[in-house]
Copies of this chain bind each other. A is one copy, B any other.
């Protein structure tokens, strides 16, 4: 047993999108609580939904044995549930959003909990912070395959997603080479380009397009053509889903209109592939990886990182911390106030060492002028 603590029972929930490593965090929180402090744990089901409707299960040692390697979350999650503006599941957009945060506070108190662990991305952490302001002692654990949470160098789940992206690029490489094609892979990343950047570097992308760096489609085509002329008759283009159509280009704008549905439905990757083929005559194909990036067993890296974060979160809670998030700073686990995290996004600095490194090994970001 570690040093004493006033805490006796805690709750835990997972919010937002699926992410490899969630179960590893749950396991670490529960095991550390039980083994080091004798703290009991309850899991709320389906994110904030469980807190609102008091749907929960007791989490004992055996409940969290054997889940380290399992993808997904044993607690279920919900993308939508916002206790402060709650829309009934299945209700249309016209429905009135209700503030059910009071119920959360009531249920939390009724269960005589001493802390609430919220595992989630920016959205979940922001809601956690707001519940913190309502008096619930919350501890946040950042979670997103997008790696865009402020206050931490890296989030668990990111390495797994990077590995999946790089593995897909490995496969597409052989097809691109055999067919002398441009292959475009669209990755997740609505607001930040971390996954496209690091996955693209890991998979040897020739062009990487991320939301943070404005690109010109002409430059992308130039790179593909240039490779062709140098005898590299294939190209790999990685593009984050959050990358926009180029603006201010009248030719393109017209095209946008023509292919509006395509872009909305197929994603930017489909559009990029279409443009490359039309402008260069080089056969092009797009693959949109989609939810495959979110699921499945975490990499060893993410299992260990998630375990460290889960344990650190429990140690912090036991030590009396509240309204903080645990995160990675360099080689260490640190805490940061949720107030500094809520509502923000960590984007790729356009001149960071990662981007410079990618450029040095010949990767184009579609923005070079020669």
Contact = CB atoms under 8 A, between A and B. Distances in A.
A332 B290 CA distance: 31
B204 A170 contact: no
A311 B357 contact: yes
B296 A170 contact: yes
A72 interface: yes
A357 B28 contact: yes
A232 interface: yes
A178 to B, nearest CB: 4
A355 B333 CA distance: 13
B291 A285 contact: yes
23 contacts: A14-B178, A27-B361, A28-B360, A46-B180, A69-B204, A72-B173, A72-B175, A72-B177, A72-B178, A73-B178, A76-B177, A77-B179, A159-B300, A159-B301, A163-B299, A168-B292, A202-B304, A265-B265, A285-B290, A287-B288, A287-B289, A287-B292, A311-B357
Interface stretch (A31-39, A125-133, A245-253): A31-39
Given A285-B291, A286-B290, A71 B174 contact: yes
A306 to B, nearest CB: 10
B18 A178 contact: yes
B354 A308 contact: yes
Interface string A330-356: 111100000000000000000001101
A120 to B, nearest CB: 12
A210 to B, nearest CB: 15
Interface of A: 14, 17-18, 22, 27-28, 31-32, 35-36, 46, 65-66, 68-73, 76-79, 90, 153, 159, 162-168, 170-175, 177-180, 183, 198-199, 201-204, 232, 261-262, 265-266, 270, 281, 285-292, 294-297, 299-301, 303-304, 307-308, 311-312, 314-315, 329-333, 353-354, 356-357, 360-362
Given A79-B179, A165-B300, A291-B285, A362 B72 contact: no
Given A27-B361, A163-B301, A314-B360, 6 more contacts: A18-B174, A171-B295, A183-B291, A288-B290, A307-B361, A330-B330
Contacts of A204: 66, 68-69
Given A68-B204, A300-B199, A300-B202, A294 B360 contact: no
Nearest to A2: B360
Contacts of A46: 180
